[in-house]
Chain A
Amino acid sequence: DADVTQTPRNRITKTGKRIMLECSQTKGHDRMYWYRQDPGLGLRLIYYSFDVKDINKGEISDGYSVSRQAQAKFSLSLESAIPNQTALYFCATGLAGGHEQFFGPGTRLTVL
């Protein structure tokens, strides 16, 4: 079984809809992250959490919110989706101290 899972894997939605992307992990890591990846722009950090209830903005947090209610789960919400939020979204987990991050398989989101 995968250590970091994301649901859904693919989603097509319309402008203005509220969308939630879920991430779960069985690695026991305290730190969790949400990134988006766009062609030519690489991976950009949206939000990250170092512990339950700890929330920190990344470089592109506008238009997104997150929730960390349990160590194993970190959800990303788009309150009112817009077309430029069309991207590949990755959840990741990691340990303190600049160690490796472990990524989920990604969610491909299309906003029409």
Chain B
Amino acid sequence: RKEVEQDPGPFNVPEGATVAFNCTYSNSASQSFFWYRQDCRKEPKLLMSVYSSGNEDGRFTAQLNRASQYISLLIRDSKLSDSATYLCVVNIKSNFGNEKLTFGTGTRLTIIP
């Protein structure tokens, strides 16, 4: 089983619609959670961190459910510029104290005019 699993998509969504992505992680020792955005042929960039209480940044809302080991990202009023691949990322701390980020394979989103 992959450590971080996402629906690869593609999601083709009309402009102005609301779209939601889900992600599950397998390691209950995971400590912090993120959504990264990657444009075609570009580097990944942090979109937002995900907190247990849920957090919102403009049109974007992230939720974490530790009991179900589940992370979500909601995009409201989608724009053409939201077209990208969205990576679910989990930070796991090992028994040796090392931390590493584990990336999901990404969900590809295309906003249609």
Contacts and interface: CB of A to CB of B under 8 A. Distances in A.
Given A58-B100, A104-B43, A98 B105 contact: no
Interface residues of B, number: 22
B55 interface: no
Nearest to B8: A40
Nearest to B32: A98
12 contacts: A35-B103, A42-B104, A43-B103, A56-B98, A90-B43, A98-B91, A98-B99, A98-B101, A103-B44, A103-B45, A104-B43, A106-B43
Interface residues of A, number: 21
Given A98-B32, A103-B43, A103-B44, A43 B87 contact: yes
Nearest to A108: B41
Interface SS majority for chain B: strand
Contacts, number: 43
Interface of B: 8, 31-32, 34, 41-46, 49, 87, 91, 93, 98-101, 103-106
Given A90-B43, A106-B43, A42 B99 contact: no
Contacts of A43: 44, 87, 103
B87 A42 contact: yes
